[in-house]
Every structure is written in structure tokens, then in C-alpha cells.
Structure 1
Amino acid sequence: MVKHLILAAGMVAAASSGDAHISDGEPSLAGTWVMDSAYEVLADGRRVTNYGEHPLGLLIVDPAGRYSLQIFRRDRPAFATGDKARGTPEEFRAAALGSSTHFGRVRIDAVAKQLIFDIEGASFPNWEGRRQVRDYVLQDGLLRYAVPASASGNGTTAYSIWRRVEQGDGDG
């Protein structure tokens, strides 16, 4: 019996010492976040909104640091045929460029003020199996971070702003 209690205590300790929460007093990403806004700064300095003025987005992080992130442009056109396998090149392009999804593990480096994403799967296959480090600010229920230009492959730096959803909040 004592052996089982020790094993159970060890499992609880391991589960609660995950990457999303460093230690008491340190920031935690665990929870549900909705996209507040997103924009990009192109290599030439112009600011654009590739996901539109009010993108849809959801970021969920569990206490162990496993995450799932989705961003969608609201005005993506529906496929005319209603069949995903028979879309036109333009429909496929709008669907691919109008969304960004990935999942894996995330942790905070509070000293460096960086998020470290270890991406397992992504709608952009070039990100799979890669680590991405992003400067961030977590303040007043908002998480802001920059996706470095090196991740886009074209010199664009993307900025994402997420708002934490409080438990019981019907928004999101």
C-alpha cells in the first residue's frame, strides 16, 4: 500500500511540474486563450493582417505544457462544390493561407522572456519537429508574442495577441 501511495505521489508531482508552469510565482500558460488580434510586419516594414482584422483563434495549454493552437481568417471562402477533395486551386490556397495550426509542447523561459515551442504537428509541414523560440509579454491576462522572421521563410515577423479565458467565461 505504501509503495502505491509513493508511486501515486510521484505521478502527481511529475504531472504538476510540467513545462507550462515553472514554479510558484512564475508565469503559467495553462488554460484557454482566445485570439485578440494578429498582424504581420513584412520584410519591407509594412504592417498587414493576413488573417483579417478579427481572426478566430484558440490556444489551449494543459498543466504539463502540451498545447494546441489554431488561427483562422474569418472570411475564408467556402468550397463551391462542398467537397474538400474537389476544391479549386484558389480555394485550396485561401484555405491554406487563411489558417495556421500547430500542436506540441510549450514552455516559458521567464528569465529570457521567451516561449519555447517544440512543434510536433503543423498545418505548415516545415515547422514539424522544429523548435521555435518567441519573445513574449504576459500581462493583465494578455499574452503577446512575436513569431520570428526566420520561421516564415520570407522575412515576415508575425505578432499574436491572446486573451486568457477565465473559467466560466462564455467567450471563446
Structure 2
Amino acid sequence: MTTTITDLVGAWRFVSAEEVFADGERRAQFGPNADGYLSYSANGIVTAVLGSTTRPASGGAGPESATDAEVVAMARDFIAYGGPFTLDPETDTVTHHIDIALFPGWQGGEQVRTFTVHDDILRGRTLQAVSPDGRSLHVELTWSRVLA
């Protein structure tokens, strides 16, 4: 079934993100306790915010009072980005064209996913990548539509 922009538009709540390695190992990308949202707008903008809910907290009231070490620890298992998106219905591929991101190296780049929508579940898969230890992997993502 071909995914359309109409299928994607709306807000989605994080269900899971599992790293799948070529050697068969599978593990939760953000650990056992993760949450987040993915939102596709009708005017072609995507925003994604997701990560571990057990990240260490800062001793301060806000980001301006956090130490550099605390900021690094808080960002380690967290992703946030936004920008335009395009859909290729021939391949059921959505490309997120990133304008702003927690990781500046992503800005100006793209995140490509294959996605399928069945009922109120959105399933995606990243392209193959290489982990820091040199192993090949992809990530399988599952989201549940946020109903009004």
C-alpha cells in the first residue's frame, strides 16, 4: 500500500525505536524508557523530538544554569530536529530535510525513512548506517497516531 501525505499528516506518539544490527542483535535505541513525538504538517514541515525519559537531570532550573557536563549527559540519548519533508510514493520513502537540529551536523542534511501506515500505526525504517563500533545497522521505528 502506497503511503500518501494525507496518511502522514498529523501528530504521532513514540512507541519504539529498535536498532537492528547485521549480526542479528536488536536493542532499544534510547533504552527501555523512551518517549517522544513526530509531527507532519499539511504545509510540509516535520518535527521530531524523542529520547530517553531517564536522562540525568540538571541541578539547575533551566538550561542556562546547567554545567557543560550536564548538558552533554542530557543530550546523549535525545534527538530533536525540524524542517521540510518530501514523500516519494513510488518507494514509500519520506525524506526529512533538516533545517534545525540538536546535532548541528544534521542541519542542511537529510534523514531518509521508508514508512508504512496501517490504521493508526506508523512504522519506519532508516537507511543502513554504521555504528561507532563499525557494525552495520538500521533502526526500526514505530509511532501511534495521536487522536483528537
Q: Give the TM-score normalised by structure 1.
A: 0.71
Match of 1:132 in 2: 111
The reply to whether residue 159 of structure 1 matches residue 140 of structure 2 is yes
Q: Report how far residue 114 of structure 1 moved.
A: 0.8
Q: Report how far residue 150 of structure 1 moved.
A: 3.4
Structure 2: give runs of 5+ residues left out of the alignment.
none
Alpha-carbon separation, structure 1, partners of 2:130 and 2:82: 15
> Of the candidates 23, 26, 33, which is equivalent to residue 47 of structure 1?
26
User: Which of 1 and 2 has higher RCO (CA within 8 Å, sep 6+)?
Assistant: 2
Structure with the larger helix share: 1
Q: Tell me, yes or no, if the aligned pair for 2:46 and 2:96 is still in contact at 8 Å.
A: no
Distance verdict in 2 for CA 1:83–1:63, change over 3 Å:
closer
Alpha-carbon separation, structure 2, partners of 1:141 and 1:151: 31
Q: Report how far residue 88 of structure 1 moved.
A: 5.5
Q: Aligned AA for 2:67?
A: G
Structure ID, larger Rg? 1
Q: Give RMSD over aligned pairs.
A: 2.4
Distance verdict in 2 for CA 1:33–1:125, change over 3 Å:
same
Q: Report how far residue 82 of structure 1 moved.
A: 4.7
Q: Tell me, yes or no, if the aligned pair for 1:104 and 1:120 is still in contact at 8 Å.
A: yes
The alignment covers a number of residue pairs equal to 142
Structure with the larger strand share: 2
Q: How does 1:7-156 map to 2 (within 5 A)?
A: 21=5, 27-42=6-21, 44-82=23-61, 84=63, 85-87=65-67, 89=69, 91-150=70-129, 155-156=136-137
Q: Give the TM-score normalised by structure 2.
A: 0.81
Q: Aligned AA for 1:163?
A: S
Taking only the aligned residue pairs, the percentage that are identical comes to 27
